[in-house]
Structure 1
Amino acid sequence: MNGKNPSASKTILTDIVLPPDTNYHGTIFGGNVMAYIDKVASIAAMRHARTMVVTASSDSLDFISPIKTGEAICLEGYVSFTKNTSMEVYVKVEAEDLLTGEKRLTATSYLTFVALDEDGKPTPAPPVLPESEEEKWQYEGAKERHEQRKKRRQQRKERQKIEEAAAKKTTEL
């Protein structure tokens, strides 16, 4: 399977933040930002794999600064790493003052998607061939993030066994 550059999956979305999108602080609801991130990341993953995809995890979402009513929300995402059937997608969120053109970083996020075949089963995703310095930095860091995801998955399985055992004990009483 031939590799692909992150630029092949690059996805950009820009929208204006209006009063119904905001909370009582006059800033965009965090849940709206999360929905935008998932949408951009889904498109990037589908562009990379050219298959259907499913969100497997949202590894992190770091809010850095708020986006205010009247500003534009600008998202950019691309596939930064693949491992067999999974793809890590990096999404950067910026606010833009539409009157001055000033932009500032407002959030970053990493999500994991799984490529699916026609039957909804996991299928291999093409490897990533990073080009720019940023893409190389994301790619190198992805190996550690992948290990952290594996560790969290194992911890979740262990916790689930404990919870199931506790629930069974409660039922027996």
Structure 2
Amino acid sequence: MSAKFKTPEESRVTLSMLMLPSHANFSGKIHGGHILSLVDQIAFACASKHSHNYCVTASVDVVDFLAPIEVGEMVTLKATVNYVGNTSMVIGIRVDAEDIKSGISKHCNSSYVTMVAKDENGKTVAVPGLKLTTETHIRRFAREIRRKSIKRESAREMKATNFSAAEFVKQLKDYNVELPS
């Protein structure tokens, strides 16, 4: 590990590319899976730049598709380290698409990916801390602490809940499902 603490700017990565017809789905919009692949690649690049190690994807915590991306638009992904633990990092990714003719840009996707640093033997390794120098850095770090807490609470609740049919059949009648008679 070369630095004890690094600012988010030191590990920021930006990727821009033109969206081609080969990236489109059946409705002519850019396939969400293609964008997710780019999100994973830039998360890897950002986490590896921060940790100076190979990194693997531990989880994709949030993916919000906000607007469709058209063939011919210039897509720009920006990745920043928002949170660090001992061996993990949460990378925030923003995806914007720009109509290259009009210059109009739109926010299309926000994602949060947890990456874990590994050594050459596949063992987890410590990562540099995060030097929070702005209000934005502090806000992003604090949001990740809360997001992690909510995720842990949700996992505990799911584990503790007995999802028996008898218990939930009354509630399921309010949903668009057909139940056995």
- Consecutive unaligned residues in structure 1, runs of 5 or more: 163-173
Distance 2:154 2:41 in 1: 24
Q: Does 1:147 align with 2:153?
A: no
Q: Kindly, what percent of the aligned residue pairs are identical?
A: 31
- Consecutive unaligned residues in structure 2, runs of 5 or more: 164-181
Residue 153 of structure 1: how far off its partner (Å): 5.2
Amino acid at match of 1:46: S
Amino acid at match of 2:22: P
Residue 151 of structure 1: how far off its partner (Å): 3.8
Question: 1:45 is matched with which residue?
Answer: 47
Q: 1:45 to 1:71 in 2, by over 3 A?
A: same
Distance 1:146 1:125 in 2: 18
Q: 1:151 to 1:118 in 2, by over 3 A?
A: farther
Matches within 5 A, 1:1-173: 2-151=4-153, 154=156, 158=159
Question: 2:172 is matched with which residue?
Answer: none
Residue 132 of structure 1: how far off its partner (Å): 3.7
Amino acid at match of 1:100: S
Amino acid at match of 1:68: E
Which has the larger displacement, 99-108 or 85-94? 99-108
Amino acid at match of 1:12: T
Distance 1:153 1:43 in 2: 29
Residue 61 of structure 1: how far off its partner (Å): 0.3
Amino acid at match of 2:27: H
TM-score (norm 1): 0.84
Which has the larger displacement, 141-150 or 13-22? 141-150
Residue 147 of structure 1: how far off its partner (Å): 1.7
Distance 2:23 2:71 in 1: 8
Residue 155 of structure 1: how far off its partner (Å): 6.1
What are the Cα deviations for residues 80-109 of structure 1, in whole angstroms up to 9, with x where unaligned? 110111100000000011112221100000
Larger radius of gyration: 2
Question: What number of residue pairs does the alignment pair up?
Answer: 159
